[in-house]
Structure 1
Amino acid sequence: MNELEDKLIMVLYECNQHKKMINNAYNHLQKNLPLDKERYIKFSLEQVGFIDQFLFRFSKLQDSMGEKLFATTLFLLGEDFTKKPFIDMLNRLEKLELLGRQEWMDLRTIRNNVAHEYSFNVDELTDSLNDIFKVKDKLISIYDTFYEYCKSKFEFVQNSEVLK
């Protein structure tokens, strides 16, 4: 394998780990969703920890995809977006039917709304948290689409021992 192939394997591995931890945190929180002010105020430190884990891993998965996975995949397809705006990359990925550009932008907006999750306004906080919990499956679906695409396009991904 060459350096770029190694990079894609490592990015996919990293994304797989984030996905696993998102699902783990969500599974611990699921019975308490949707959140409301009364329920959130009564959360234990462990439950708040799962919220933190979910938010951290959601952000990391989105960052890893946006900063590494998209560009690496396109570069391996012979397309260099290093000096182009991010929106151009999203447009190309949309043409490849790997994601919806607006869908990705909406996920970013929801994530950014939760960036101040320790708001003093618990109603706003729980609304923002509920919004991000609702889009978990969408982010994971986009990642899964990429993962399957990479497996279908690149034999080295299919054969990777790291990803098994």
Structure 2
Amino acid sequence: MKQTPERLALAHAYSTCLGHAEALQEALVDLHQRDLHELEWNKLAKEDRRLLDQFAYRYTRIQDDMGTRLMPAILCALEEDIAAMPVVDRLNRLEQLGWLPSAAEWSELRRIRNAFAHDYPETPAGRHAQWRLAIAAAEQVLTILNGFATRMHTVLPD
């Protein structure tokens, strides 16, 4: 099968997301092993700060790259005309085509990511709760990426 520019863009976008996913998965394993408690958030060790930074960076990058690069690349590879299509319509189309489990769920995951990136709870309890929510959301984002990979190999084989 001929490698079209759309297929090459899809491969590149997926490769970028896969790199983020691998680093994010490593951070998640370490976070689960470390299991920071609420009271530890006032005085984090240097290693814990680095781990949290790695998680935060990879979590925001994978979700950004999936939304701005991978999802549009999937639609283009499927020969969908997305030039004038708003993001919400792209999400709905991916859901209709069976690529995205739920456009509403992705929007909620995006809301959680935005709150995580821009809101700074003042209390250790608030920070701890925000991180727990972000960790659960990151795990769901990885599940969605795995679903994309499965579909790419079956619907868009090389």
TM superposition score normalised by structure 2: 0.89
CA displacement 1:35-86 (0-9 Å, x = unmatched): 4431223431111111111111111111111111111111111101121111
Determine the structure 1 residue equivalent to 2:130. Answer: 128
What residue number does 2:83 align with?
Answer: 82
- In structure 2, what is the equivalent of residue 162 of structure 1? none
Segments of structure 1 that go 5 or more residues without pairing to the other structure are: 157-164
For residue 99 of structure 2, give the secondary structure of its aligned residue in structure 1. Answer: coil
Classify the secondary structure of the residue corresponding to 1:84: coil
Distance in 2 of aligned mates of 1:85 and 1:117: 26
Distance 1:82 1:122, change over 3 A: farther
For 1:24 and 1:101, how far apart are their aligned partners in 2? 27
Match of 2:26 among 24, 27, 30: 24
Tell me the SS of whatever aligns to 2:83: coil
Query: Which residue matches 2:41?
Result: 40
The answer on whether the counterparts of 1:36 and 1:126 sit within 8 Å (CA) in structure 2 is yes
Task: Kindly indicate whether the alpha-carbon contact (under 8 Å) linking 2:41 and 2:127 is maintained by their aligned counterparts in 1.
Answer: no
Change (3 A) 1:96 1:2: closer
Contact kept? 2:20, 2:61, Cα under 8 Å: yes
8 Å Cα contact 1:32/1:39 also seen in 2: no
- Superposed CA RMSD: 1.6
The 8 Å contact of residues 21 and 58 in structure 2, kept in 1 or not, is answered as yes
Q: How far apart are the structure 2 equivalents of 1:143 and 1:125?
A: 27
Aligned residue identity for 1:45: K
The amino acid that maps onto 1:148 is T
Residue of structure 1 in register with 2:108 after alignment:
106
CA distance in 1, matches of 2:5, 2:97: 24
User: Would the aligned equivalents of 1:98 and 1:145 in 2 still touch at CA under 8 Å?
Assistant: yes
Task: Give the counterpart letter for 2:91 in structure 1.
Answer: L
> Which residue of structure 1 lines up, in the alignment, with residue 71 of structure 2?
70
| Aligned counterpart, 1:116 | 118
- State the match for 2:54 in structure 1: 53
Unaligned runs of 5+ in 2: none
* Residues 1:142 and 2:108 aligned together: no
Range 22-31 or range 111-120, more displaced: 111-120
Kindly state the Cα deviation for residue 4 of structure 1 after the two structures are TM-superposed.
2.0
